[in-house]
Amino acid sequence: MKVLIVGGGGREHAIAWKIKQSPRVSKLYCAPGNGGTAQIATNVAIKATDLAALTAFAVKEGVDLVFVAPDDPLAMGLVDELERVGIRAFGPGKAASLIESSKVFAKDLMRRYQIPTADYVVFDDLIKAMQYIEKVQLPAVIKADGLALGKGVIIARTRDEARQAVQKMMEEAAFGAAGKRIVVEEFLTGPELTVLAFTDGKTVRPMISSRDHKRAFDGDQGPNTGGMGAVVPGTVCTDAEWDVMTKTIFQPTIDAMRAEGRLFRGVIYYGLMLTPKGPYVIEYNARFGDPEAQAVLPLLETDLMTIIDAVLDGKLDRIDIQWQDACSCCVVMASGGYPAAYKTGYPVFGLDTLPADCLVFHAGTRIEGDQFVTGGGRVLGVVSLGKTLPDAIRQAYHGVAGIDFKHAHYRRDIGGAAW
């Protein structure tokens, strides 16, 4: 089979690495890919958002399956485009991707189907939003409706911060059209965890839980990023809590989407918080998270192609999905300055002398001459598996210690490690 993976980050390298292990795959493409995917697949210089060029490429090369990994092409309807020309595509169509691309849609869905989530009010009128902000309970959480690279959420602790957040989103359009409508929601507290799940629109099969580290600096300080590291398992939860999540969140969400005529097929991302009132949904994504995918996929024992087929054929209830009984840690090495301005083009040293118990997924590298150079904000994800989480963390940091590039920045406390 010929497979095309759309995207070019660490998540896509991890997906390519896993799919490459399938005996059924004869040719693997990545568009646009990165320096890491170039080692195991053929990179194709097409942007993930160029729907027409991706579709034309898939037709021309006789691609059997396209795995659409990032949020933008999903929200734009790449899966629908591919299906229209008869190509199998993994990921939700445009209608179902709305669960990520519109926070208002997601919140209203949860309200309609009694899925536990923070109380909220939606505004598309600046004056009304500003009036509401004057009396809202603090802290308040202010979210842009649309996709904003994970940066469209502001937790306002003072009234002034709340006023500024609303103004920034609605008046100055800091997030473009994404902030025309906003959600103001109740501030919740509790440990967070991510649960990714495969679903064919009827059956939902959660993966092992994981936890992202969104802030740039140690101790959860600094600006939000795409994610600076991830561990598996995420926050440890009891069987009873897991049971509650299955009954009140995982299955009801999939059933709600089907009932709305938005059958969701692919990977759904449940961003959860274990609040004193029970597990609540913080957000949904319509795809694998990054870096969560880098920590989770190495633990998957089942052939990913078998799961993809079951999802696309609506037969997810018929297969067995096996996971390695181990823990995992992914430490992201980023360019100094990320998520604000940073420089690229620095040579990356040490990749050829990695410890045997580490894997490296490339997020933002390219090949220049005979070496890898940095090419993005997040540069590498260093992953290690271990019997215990402390083992996985220690080994991953051992791997990180052997890699070097100018102005490299990484957190020293992924998974709670104190360095």
Site string for ligand AMP, 278-297 (x = CB under 6 A): ----xx--------------
Q: In the complex, what is the shortest distance from the CB of residue 235 to ligand AMP, in angstroms, rounded to a whole number?
A: 12
| Residues 306, 320: Cα–Cα separation, whole Å | 10
Nearer to ligand GLY, 184 or 193 (CB): 193
How far is the CA of 32 from the CAs of 7, 91, 308, in angstroms? Answer: 6, 18, 21
Residue 292 contact partner, candidates ligand AMP, ligand GLY, none, CB within 5 to 8 A by sort of partner: ligand GLY
| Residues 311, 264: Cα–Cα separation, whole Å | 10
Site string for ligand GLY, 204-223 (x = CB under 6 A): --------x-----------
| Residues 232, 329: Cα–Cα separation, whole Å | 6
User: Within 135-164, which residues bind ligand AMP (CB under 6 A)?
Assistant: 141, 150, 153, 155
Q: Judged by CB under 6 A, which stretch of 28-36, 182-190, 316-324, 406-414 contacts ligand AMP?
A: 182-190
Nearer to ligand AMP, 214 or 398 (CB): 214
Q: Judged by CB under 6 A, which stretch of 179-187, 255-263, 286-294, 391-399 contacts ligand GLY?
A: 286-294
- Phi and psi of 307, rounded to 5°? -70, -45
Site string for ligand AMP, 104-123 (x = CB under 6 A): --------------x-----
271 is a site residue for ligand AMP (CB under 6 A): yes
| Residues 381, 225: Cα–Cα separation, whole Å | 14
Q: Would you mind telling me the total number of residues written for the chain in this entry?
A: 419
Nearer to ligand GLY, 175 or 346 (CB): 175
User: Within 101-160, which residues bind ligand GLY (CB under 6 A)?
Assistant: 150
- List CB contacts of 338: < 8 A, sequence separation 6 or more: 216, 225, 377, 378, 409
Structure-token pair, residue 208: 């092992």
Residue carrying structure tokens 């897991």: 242
Structure-token pair, residue 372: 């890898």
72 is a site residue for ligand GLY (CB under 6 A): no
377 is a site residue for ligand GLY (CB under 6 A): no
Angle in degrees, CA 240, 243, 244, rounded to 5: 90
Q: Which helix (H) or strand (E) segment is 30 a member of?
A: strand 27-32
Residue 309 contact partner, candidates ligand AMP, ligand GLY, none, CB within 5 to 8 A by sort of partner: none
Closest residue to ligand GLY in the complex (CB): 289
How far is the CA of 159 from the CAs of 131, 171, 187, in angstroms? Answer: 12, 17, 14
Binding site for ligand AMP (CB under 6 A): 118, 141, 150, 153, 155, 185-188, 192, 214, 271, 282-283
